[in-house]
Structure 1
Amino acid sequence: MKVPIYKWSGNYWGFIYNNRVFNKDAKYKGWVDDENRAWNSDGKYIGEIVSENYILRRNSKMQPMDKIPKIPPIPPIPKIDRIGKINKMGWTDVLDKL
């Protein structure tokens, strides 16, 4: 299940999927460990998961040591187009106008 991640200001930033952190463009940015700490893709500590949907870092706390970077996940295979359908009389594909 994808968990949305927001900036503290409320702006959507990305999501966590299978303990991996992705930005809103689905680019891999890091991972989350078993202690709900987030790590950048290069192994640097980012912060901790707060209220399930935010990643914050405590400035008054000593930061953990960097970790060995994990192997990035294989990017998902993009969907390919389907064969088009013949128009249905009396129906309009609204997605053509979005």
Structure 2
Amino acid sequence: METTKNPLVEALIQERLAQKLTQGQLAEASGLSRRALNLIEGGGDCTLSTLQRLLDTLGLEPVARRTRRMTLDDVVQESEEELFDKPAAPGG
């Protein structure tokens, strides 16, 4: 069974690949073992300090932002769109 990875982990992996770094290279530059990085990229937990070391090594900055929560109206609209297989009219 395949699990969906945390978006933060996905972003770390994508940035590592974009910089053409192997797990071993990123781990060494971050002061981690390759096994530890492999576990993190596989969905395992890590401490905030470990996460910060990885982000620093990749030249990334963590950003916290508020997410939009769905309202009951949003859920009803989404259900109607799926049921009738058409987008809702603008404005509700």
TM-score, with structure 1 as normaliser: 0.24
The TM-score with structure 2 as length reference comes to 0.25
Q: Which structure is higher in helix share?
A: 2
